[in-house]
């Protein structure tokens, strides 16, 4: 097998990522990612609410070489999911933009695995580990290290030209590819996201308290939502986009090229009373292939009930 230079590998990986429809691709050296133990501090403060799975494999999250022995590089890809604002129907709930189309895990996993296979051909005996979301990889920290974008004060990775309306995937590999420079921070003095958050969940720049975050409560919380949060949820019934809607870097962005991210019927502003009438099989049928299934039938109906009460008060 012809051997390529680290720079040649990087060029090949980026060309293939673009061919596979990714909007950005960056490469970081597979060194410990969290030497300051930000993850430990965040968990100690209880900011992860009841997402106990975030406590697992903590050492691996901070050092991906424990996931893949001999790892040399982390390839991070980003895929734009932006869709222009849609008219909100009366009596409807709000769904976060990333969930308007097909579930992004399903959209990303195939091309990501193809990219991993391609990386495997660039040198002899190359190992790869690819994941979207579910693996022990601090994707935002890696995206920043790989030059995809900077971690904004709202905690999301922001890239000039794309804003923050993109999802991430990562491939850990033993391939020695030339790394990109970490991204520069362009938040400056702006604090729009911190000020706009309805529940004060952004405690300080880049520190999010999931216990206060509407996205956490509407998607991950399987129990009761505390009443002060309920009162501030407005009509969000799955996720929340407030801290992204106000970001100046999200003002002029292009619509996603990916057809799978086009809004599905009934997934942008579903009627709340109609949702409350769905039984479990109807819920599963209506949201098949959508990230909304993550909230589960009981969770979505709980959220719809709260939104309906908030609507009647407004
Ligand atoms: C758990 C989780 C959540 C939880 C908790 C959020 C949180 N802050 O962790 C909840 C349910 C609340 C959530 C909400 C959302 N999420 Co979420 N979530 C995740 C998940 C699965 C794990 C995140 C994690 O490990 N958290 C632990 C904390 C401690 O880690 P962290 O956020 O990465 O923070 C570290 C770095 O920021 C670091 N850090 C801070 N500054 C700097 C600077 C440098 C240079 C470095 C190196 C590190 C660093 O310190 C922290 C500790 O290490 C990731 C996927 C993944 N595997 O990474 C998606 C992910 C972060 N989520 C995503 C999205 C889209 C969302 C929502 C926008 C969805 C929505 N519309 O409702 C909201 C946004 C809320 C917000 N403002 O962050 C995307 C973000 C894409 C992007 N452009 O950044 C991800 C990457 C999923 C994906 N594959 O695309 N999420
Ligand atoms: S997702 Fe909503 S509740 Fe969570 S930090 Fe952003 S604005 Fe606040
Ligand atoms: S709203 Fe302002 S502070 Fe928040 S991420 Fe965007 S630029 Fe940074």
Residues 18 and 141 in one domain: yes
Categorize the per-residue pLDDT at 266 as very low, low, confident or very high, splitting at 50, 70 and 90.
confident
Q: Is residue 281 part of a domain?
A: yes
pLDDT tens-digit profile of 166-215?
999 999 999 999 999 999 999 999 999 999 999 999 999 999 999 999 99
Identify the weakest region by mean pLDDT among 54-58, 100-104, 145-149. Answer: 54-58
For residue 206 and ligand 1, the question of a CB distance below 6 A is answered with yes
- Mean per-residue pLDDT, 270-276: 97
Residues 160 and 208 in one domain: no
Determine the pLDDT at residue 141. Answer: 98
Q: Which ligand 1 atom minimizes the distance to the CA of 51?
A: 1
Q: Is residue 97 part of a domain?
A: no
pLDDT tens-digit profile of 42-98?
999 999 999 999 999 999 999 999 999 999 999 999 999 999 999 888 999 999 999
Categorize the per-residue pLDDT at 279 as very low, low, confident or very high, splitting at 50, 70 and 90.
very high
Pocket test for ligand 2, best of 48, 153, 165, 197 (most atoms within 8 A of CB): 197
Residues 62 and 129 in one domain: yes
For residue 164 and ligand 1, the question of a CB distance below 6 A is answered with yes
Residues 28 and 135 in one domain: yes
Which of 173, 207, 229 is the endpoint of a domain? 173
Give the residue whose CA is nearest to atom 8 of ligand 3.
Answer: 187
Q: Is residue 273 part of a domain?
A: yes
25 backbone dihedrals φ, ψ, rounded to 5°: -145, 135
Nearest to 81 by CA among 172, 169, 197: 169
Which of 144, 173, 202 is the endpoint of a domain? 173
Residues 145 and 222 in one domain: no
Residues 166 and 46 in one domain: yes
Residues 138 and 285 in one domain: no
Residues 135 and 40 in one domain: yes
Look up tokens 């099989």; give the residue: 281
Q: Which ligand 3 atom minimizes the distance to the CA of 194?
A: 4
Residue 108 above 90 pLDDT?
yes
Into how many domains does the chain fold? Answer: 2
Q: Is residue 272 part of a domain?
A: yes
Determine the pLDDT at residue 216. Answer: 98
Determine the pLDDT at residue 314. Answer: 80
Residues 153 and 213 in one domain: no
Residues 146 and 236 in one domain: no
Categorize the per-residue pLDDT at 1 as very low, low, confident or very high, splitting at 50, 70 and 90.
low
**Which residues form ligand 2's pocket by a CB distance below 6 Å?**
154, 197-199, 201-202, 208, 213-215, 240, 242-243
Q: Is residue 89 part of a domain?
A: no
Determine the pLDDT at residue 2. Answer: 63
Which of 173, 203, 231 is the endpoint of a domain? 173
Pocket test for ligand 1, best of 132, 139, 211 (most atoms within 8 A of CB): 139
> Which residues, 6 or more positions from 54, have their beta carbon under 8 angstroms from its beta carbon?
43, 48
Residues 198 and 57 in one domain: no
Determine the pLDDT at residue 77. Answer: 98
Q: Is residue 1 part of a domain?
A: no
Q: Is residue 184 part of a domain?
A: no
- Mean per-residue pLDDT, 224-232: 98
Task: Tell me the average pLDDT of the chain.
Answer: 97
- Write out the catalytic residue numbers: 133
Token pair recorded at residue 222: 């399987």
Range of the domain at 159: 6-82+103-173
Is this prediction's pTM over 0.85? Answer: yes
Q: Is residue 154 part of a domain?
A: yes
């Amino acid at each position: 097998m012809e051997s390529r230079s680290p720079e040649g590998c990087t060029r090949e990986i980026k060309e293939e990522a673009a061919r596979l429809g990714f909007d950005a691709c960056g490469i970081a050296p597979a060194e410990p990612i969290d030497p300051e133990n930000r993850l430990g501090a965040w968990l100690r403060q209880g900011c992860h609410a009841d997402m106990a799975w975030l406590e697992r494999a903590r050492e691996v999250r901070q050092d991906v070489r424990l996931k893949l022995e001999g790892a040399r590089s982390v390839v991070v890809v980003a895929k734009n999911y932006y869709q222009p604002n849609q008219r909100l129907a009366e009596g409807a709930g709000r769904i976060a933009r990333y969930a308007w189309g097909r579930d992004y895990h399903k959209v990303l996993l195939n091309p990501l695995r193809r990219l991993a296979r391609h990386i495997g051909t660039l040198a002899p005996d190359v190992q790869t580990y690819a994941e979207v979301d579910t693996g022990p990889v601090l994707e935002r920290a890696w995206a920043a290290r790989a030059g995809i974008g900077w971690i904004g004060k709202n905690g999301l990775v922001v890239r000039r030209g794309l804003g923050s309306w993109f999802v991430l995937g990562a491939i850990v590999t033993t391939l020695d590819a030339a790394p990109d420079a970490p991204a520069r921070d362009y938040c400056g003095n702006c604090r729009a996201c911190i000020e706009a958050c309805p529940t004060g969940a952004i405690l300080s720049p880049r520190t999010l308290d999931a216990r206060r975050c509407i996205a956490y409560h509407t998607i991950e919380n399987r129990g009761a939502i505390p009443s002060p949060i309920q009162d501030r949820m407005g009509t969000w019934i799955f996720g929340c986009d407030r801290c992204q809607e106000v970001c100046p870097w999200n003002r002029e962005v292009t619509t996603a090229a990916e057809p799978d991210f086009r809004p599905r019927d009934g997934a942008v502003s579903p009627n709340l009373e109609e949702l409350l009438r769905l039984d479990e099989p109807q819920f599963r049928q209506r949201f098949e292939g959508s990230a909304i299934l993550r909230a589960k039938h009981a969770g979505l109906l709980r959220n719809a009930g709260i939104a309906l009460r908030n609507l009647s008060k407004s």
